[in-house]
A = this chain, B = another copy of it.
Amino acid sequence: MSILTTSLAEFAAGPVSTTSQARIVTSLSALDWLAVGRAGAEEPVSRIVRQMVLGEGGLDQARLFGGGAAPLRAAALVNGTVSHALDYDDTHFAYIGHPSVAVFPAALAIAAWEDRPLVDLLEAALVGMETSIRIGLWLGRQHYQAGFHQTATAGAFGAAVAAGRIMGFDTAQMQALLGLTATKAAGQKAQFGTMGKPYNAGIAASNGVEAALLIRNGFRPNADAIEGPHGFGATHLAAEDTSSALDGLGEEWLFESVSHKFHACCHGLHAALEAARDLDIAEPEVAEIRVKTHPRWMSVCNQSEPTTGLGAKFSYRTVIAMQAMGFDTGLPGSYSDKICADPRLQSLRDRIKVEADDSLSETQAQLSLLRRDGVRREATHDLLSPVPLSDREDRVRSKAAKLIGADEADAIWSMLRTGGRAADLADRLTD
């Protein structure tokens, strides 16, 4: 058996030593995942996938975002898709994937159905998300650049491991689980910008649940189908050494550095919005704003004069103008056709210039504000700079409060921090 599979299986099946930071960040991601899932429950893609699943009937094994219940595999498909529908969930930049949307739908479905304590769910989700990140690191840039969607491919392994851990799998079962997941893990980057992107997260979550159910039923796959000459790594263009996945496994939690989104728009805009936030720009004082960003974003999210809410989510000039005018860029509803047509916004937008600067990294942006009084102020932000945990907690809870109401957000946070049953959390998938 190959080293990557063996090591990950031992990690996934064995006792783990978590840090306080890892536990708190996992709880924050659970709250964040739940809030963005509820906020996305009525998006078109959410309705379409939920409609298919509800049309099949089946046992009410797991609750769905948006209402209703379904068997475990089907619920994971729906909840994975729904929670990624707004593209507002967490991101891990080390492997460029969204860990929560693949793993929580799988872990919550199984844990609630088996009536497990919330603490077991959170630990299994953490182990699963850590697995996604580490397999993602091993698959590496080449895998992503070629066109595979890491959220879905690496994510399926994380979802499977989280599900298997809740089911109490031993190391041999975990190896088999990883091997079986390798034959079904899939998802294309070519679907970006369409309903296919959130669906990919649903695929990952559902694949993980299905693989775990089959292994529990006695399915015997090739347990060594990740590495080797015809393994998943070979077919899916993994380029990295196994040390990229295994260094510090079980000692260091890469998941701790997951990023939460605080603006409901393209991630390429976030560093600039954070820099603007630091400058606390007020519309009337603006003579000019210059935005510098990494060149790759120029073709991704630099729409100059968008006319739709969707277009606004991919426009530096629009989102910075919105923020300076006091619109909440953290609310999906703020991005509207109406705001794009607002003459005040258009006037301010025309005073904002965007340029590429290849001295910046992809997670950095620099803003230079020239005020009408001639004063120039500058700010640079890097999304990778550590955020103190207490600040992070404040912002995630505040985001959740905006999306699902302060009382709900507080109640869920309290549940996540004080324990209870997984089924109690599942009850919060709808209000």
Contacts and interface: CB of A to CB of B under 8 A. Distances in A.
Given A49-B219, A191-B221, 16 more contacts: A52-B210, A57-B57, A147-B234, A149-B183, A182-B190, A183-B187, A183-B190, A183-B200, A184-B187, A188-B231, A190-B224, A190-B232, A191-B225, A195-B221, A196-B222, A196-B225
A76 to B, nearest CB: 12
Contacts of A235: 146-148, 188, 236-237
30 contacts: A48-B217, A48-B219, A51-B217, A52-B210, A52-B214, A57-B71, A58-B71, A146-B234, A146-B235, A147-B231, A148-B235, A179-B196, A180-B199, A183-B186, A183-B187, A183-B190, A183-B196, A183-B203, A184-B186, A185-B186, A188-B225, A188-B230, A190-B222, A190-B230, A190-B232, A193-B222, A194-B221, A195-B219, A199-B214, A235-B237
Nearest to A60: B57
Interface string A192-219: 1111100110010000001001100111
Contacts of A61: 56
Nearest to A223: B194
Nearest to A228: B190
Interface string A35-60: 00000000011001101100111110
Given A183-B196, A186-B184, A190-B222, A230 B147 contact: yes
A277 interface: no
Interface of A: 44-45, 48-49, 51-52, 55-59, 61, 71-74, 146-149, 152, 179-180, 182-196, 199-200, 203, 210, 213-214, 217-222, 224-225, 228-232, 234-237
A56 B74 contact: yes
B48 A214 contact: yes
Contacts of A55: 59, 71, 213
A182 B187 CA distance: 8
A71 B195 CA distance: 24
- Which A-B residue pairs are the 7 nearest by beta carbons? A147-B230, A56-B71, A58-B58, A186-B186, A196-B221, A57-B59, A190-B225
A189 B237 CA distance: 16
Q: How many copies of this chain?
A: 2
A190 B152 CA distance: 20
A283 B167 CA distance: 55
Contacts of A195: 219-221
Q: A72, A186, A210, A234: which has the most chain B beta carbons within 10 Å?
A: A186
A188 B229 CA distance: 12
A374 B225 CA distance: 51
Contacts of A182: 188, 190
A185 B219 CA distance: 21
Nearest to A232: B188
Contacts of A48: 214, 217-219
Nearest to A180: B196
Among A74, A199, A225, A235: residue with most chain B CB under 10 A = A235
Nearest to A183: B188
Nearest to A57: B59
A395 B182 CA distance: 38
